[in-house]
């Protein structure tokens, strides 16, 4: 069974900024730690829902698959010498890339 929401986006800059702000509020005793956990869980759900429902950008990529694994309904791919083409024509070259893919639907959907 998949978790209610994945915590991947907490490592993004906006997720890190939110976590830092919540930590500051906890240290200053303005909110209890349980409220901070609820806010982070809400953030995880909203980001996941937004990406699943509202994102329309497309890209294509080509590279050398170095490693792949599947664990707990999550695919992880490590790709070397990656060439990425964005939908508006821009191309990017990347030495190494890690792609983590999971089911966008929550359990029971």
Domain count for the chain, please give it.
2
**Domain membership flag for residue 107:** no
Same domain, yes or no, for 40 and 72?
no
Domain boundary among 21, 38, 54: 54
pLDDT in tens, the chain (109 residues): 345 567 778 888 899 899 999 999 999 999 999 999 999 999 988 888 887 788 788 889 999 999 999 998 889 999 999 999 998 889 999 999 999 888 766 555 5
DSSP string, 67-106: EEEEETTEEEEEEEEEEEEETTS-EEEEEEEEEEEE-SSP
**Domain membership flag for residue 25:** yes
Question: To the nearest 10°, the Cα dihedral for 31, 35, 37, 40?
Answer: -90
d(CA 39, CA 31): 11
Domain containing 78 equals: 59-102
Same domain, yes or no, for 74 and 87?
yes
Query: Which CATH number fits the domain that encloses residue 31?
Result: 1.10.287.190
Query: Which CATH number fits the domain that encloses residue 94?
Result: 2.30.18.10
User: Which residues, at least 6 apart from 79, have a Cβ–Cβ distance to it below 8 Å?
Assistant: 61, 63, 64, 65, 66, 96, 97, 98, 99
Chain Cα centroid distance, residue 94? 19
Give the end-to-end CA distance of the chain in Å, rounded to a whole number: 12
């Amino acid at each position: 069974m998949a978790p209610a929401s994945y915590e991947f986006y907490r490592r993004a800059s906006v997720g890190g900024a939110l976590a830092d702000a919540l930590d500051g509020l906890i240290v200053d005793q303005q909110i209890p730690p349980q409220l901070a956990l609820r806010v982070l869980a809400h953030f995880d759900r909203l980001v996941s829902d937004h990406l699943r429902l509202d994102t329309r950008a497309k890209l294509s990529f080509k590279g050398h698959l170095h490693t792949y694994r599947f664990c707990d309904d999550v695919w992880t791919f490590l790709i070397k010498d990656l060439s990425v083409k964005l939908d508006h024509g821009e191309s990017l070259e990347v030495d190494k890339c890690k792609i983590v893919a999971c089911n966008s639907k929550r359990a029971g959907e």
